[in-house]
Structure 1
């Protein structure tokens, strides 16, 4: 879906310039801090954008959120003010890897990706976009710490809804597709953003590259998962898989909601997708990139979505209710640290492969059959 840049870049430059000089001055964070002016004639070439969704506290040196390991380990030391979005930007000027934090939810992710895509300080025309975040996983598919590369991103908010207590007796859910009269009505209505199909060949390539990685584990989590006898995949040590994402602003939980998620993803992917991970941002990210691609600022076919399991989408302990499972996690998740570590290790493997072979991947998107020209 590659196009050339349009005159929108000039408009974006004029808009950003009006925000003041500070917004266009990157600051290098090292012992000899320097300020480098980037002009409109020399935008910074970005090779990979690492898209994270939240951070906890500071960007370095405390409890890590999704961004911190990338900031500390990937050398993201050059700082760019980014007042038009949730969090400032950081880039490794040598590798061309840029890290961002969109904020939680599809509204913020859409706005953040669009703001970056229209920022004239950066050339994103050949950039790969790696979403690297945690998620709730279906325990039928994976274990805490496991990682899933997605091909289908399905929106869990876009539809009609009536309270389940008022729905017809023959309905299994009160949430139905827009412009339909019953759950899962066939034929499917027109897709208006309920589902985004991203580059499956690229997802398969990323999976093949990372599927045999020796992933870290956690003794406490290993002891916990031995009790999940009803879910064989949830008992496994962390592993890498292919699996699709349901995104929505509502943090849902429970066996019945999990059943709905599986059917909703199956419905909108017309049987091709498999619900594995539940997040809050990825359809927003995809929507923004789709529009940026159409305007010539980014390449939608270079989007990758990696989610790692910090928790489950339903109870896994025998006799536990959905409410007990949801509230029992406290302020964070037992698998948060492990999921963040796996997201970095799996994601950075793909990032390093791309940046180390940029002469090839700049013009040819990798696939399972080798690199193919755009």
Structure 2
């Protein structure tokens, strides 16, 4: 009787293990190995066929025939093609975008162990550093919000109104992999960029040579803040913060980058993260224009070139995505050395 019970227990255990192994095998078969993940922050309407936001041009390039994959906790579905290029709209702002990305990264539907990440969106820029339609790769991501601020009249006249808060040193500044930034620039620096008559007319209001010039591909610090700061005063304060933190001058302002990079770093490291932003406005007004006028412009006074800018970003970014996928055997185990 004891042997019968023992053998029955063994058979039951073997059956459980067999069922478990079949379940694991099926789960592995359904797991998508991701080569490149593209994260955008918003789309204006549909994913195709209307006015494009940050996601539409990526969707039209890579996922026209893909089926949406719903992920619990994510702002929107994930899309993947047969080449292992996946992407999603993550939502605007640090909280929404980072929580959405974390849900995707923790989902068992995807294998991100060898993935490269491209964080993609629109941005503002100081007129001394970039112009409308430009596309800027990040070498540094900096959090604009982690610190102490006070009203100017409550401090020393002319002194900065910001002081870093201790305890955030590890999360307020993230340096991206210089080797990957170098690859990105080599692959994209000569990308033909679109421009528009409206953008040219708007740029002409600014005296700075860079602001008045045509769009270009460049590298610079991205400042991440949930606050849309405007005006030369806060722009100067942001440059003060950049110097305080020992990073390059800030080149663009955006709302998500450092938070998204932090989530990826916690789970997969930072070496394969890229951040790409296209400039759609200046973060301060032109001479004779008050900050409030710039923030809430009259009809006909807004910056042009939005449609061209979001197309430029996809033109630049796809060069890197396609190169990595095409040369996957060289890239899957790490960033290859670049031949000079």
Measured after TM superposition, the shift of residue 203 of structure 1 is 0.8
Task: Confirm or deny that 1:285 pairs with 2:273.
Answer: no
Query: For 1:160-309, what aligned pairs fall within 5 Å after superposition?
Result: 160-167=148-155, 169-170=156-157, 172-179=159-166, 191-228=169-206, 230-268=207-245, 270=246, 272-293=247-268, 299-309=269-279
2:199 and 2:137 mapped to 1: Cα distance?
Answer: 22
Task: Name stretches of at least 5 consecutive residues in structure 1 with no aligned partner.
Answer: 1-37, 180-188, 294-298
Q: Which has the higher helix share?
A: 2
Partner of 1:91: 80
Q: Offset of 1:190 from its aligned partner?
A: 6.5
Question: Cα distance 1:172–1:39, how it changes in 2: closer, same or farther (>3 A)?
Answer: farther
Give the C-alpha shift of residue 220 in structure 1: 2.0
Deviation at 1:364, TM superposition (A): 2.4
Mapping of 1:121-160 within 5 angstroms?
121-160=109-148
Instruction: Tell me if the contact between 2:41 and 2:91 (Cα under 8 Å) persists in the aligned partners.
Output: yes
The question of 1:319 aligning with 2:288 is answered: yes
Determine helix, strand or coil for the equivalent of 2:80. strand
- After superposition, the Cα gap between the structure-2 partners of 1:170 and 1:320, relative to the gap in structure 1 and judged at 3 Å, is closer
Report the TM-score when normalising by structure 1.
Answer: 0.79
Q: CA RMSD in A?
A: 2.0
Alpha-carbon distance in 1 for matches of 2:51, 2:33 = 31
Structure 1 residues 109-124: aligned runs within 5 Å? 109-124=97-112
Residue 110 of structure 1 and its aligned partner are, at CA, apart by 1.5
**What's the secondary structure of 1:300's corresponding residue?**
coil
Query: Would the aligned equivalents of 1:85 and 1:102 in 2 still touch at CA under 8 Å?
Result: yes
TM-score (norm 2): 0.87
- Given the alignment, which residue of 62, 75, 99 partners 2:63? 75
Aligned to 1:108: 96
Structure 1 position 366, deviation (Å)? 4.0
Contact 1:52–1:133 (8 Å) recurs in 2: yes
Change (3 A) 1:366 1:327: farther
Distance 2:184 2:93 in 1: 25
- Residue number among 314, 317, 320 corresponding to 1:344 in the alignment: 314
Does structure 1 residue 56 correspond to structure 2 residue 25?
A: no
Deviations 1:241-267 (Å, cap 9, x if unpaired)? 111100011111100111111121222
- Structure (1 or 2) with the larger CA radius of gyration: 2
Separation in 1, partners of 2:226, 2:290: 23
Name the SS for the 1:110 alignment partner. helix
Distance in 2 of aligned mates of 1:196 and 1:223:
36
Cα deviation code 1:168-218 (max 9, x no counterpart):
x15623221014xxxxxxxxx861311011111111210111111111111
Flag the 1:203–1:147 CA change in 2: closer, same or farther, 3 A. Answer: same
Q: 1:80 to 1:231 in 2, by over 3 A?
A: same
CA distance in 2, matches of 1:118, 1:329: 45
Report the Cα offset of residue 69 of structure 1: 1.0
Aligned to 1:355: 325
The question of whether the paired residues in 2 share the 8 Å contact of 1:202 and 1:366 is answered with no
Deviation at 1:333, TM superposition (A): 5.2
Do the aligned residues in 2 keep the contact of 1:87 with 1:102 (CA within 8 Å)? yes
**Counterpart of 1:307 in 2: which secondary structure?**
strand
| 2:72–2:103 contact (8 Å) kept in structure 1 | no
**Which has the larger displacement, 230-239 or 67-76?**
67-76
Tell me if the contact between 1:205 and 1:366 (Cα under 8 Å) persists in the aligned partners: no
The DSSP-based 3-state class of the residue aligned with 1:243 is strand
Separation (CA, whole Å) in 1 of partners of 2:53 and 2:264: 24
Deviation of 1:61 after TM superposition, in Å, equals 2.0
**Count of matched residue pairs:** 313
Q: Helix, strand or coil: the match of 1:364?
A: coil
Are the counterparts in 1 of residues 225 and 256 from structure 2 also a CA contact under 8 Å? Answer: yes
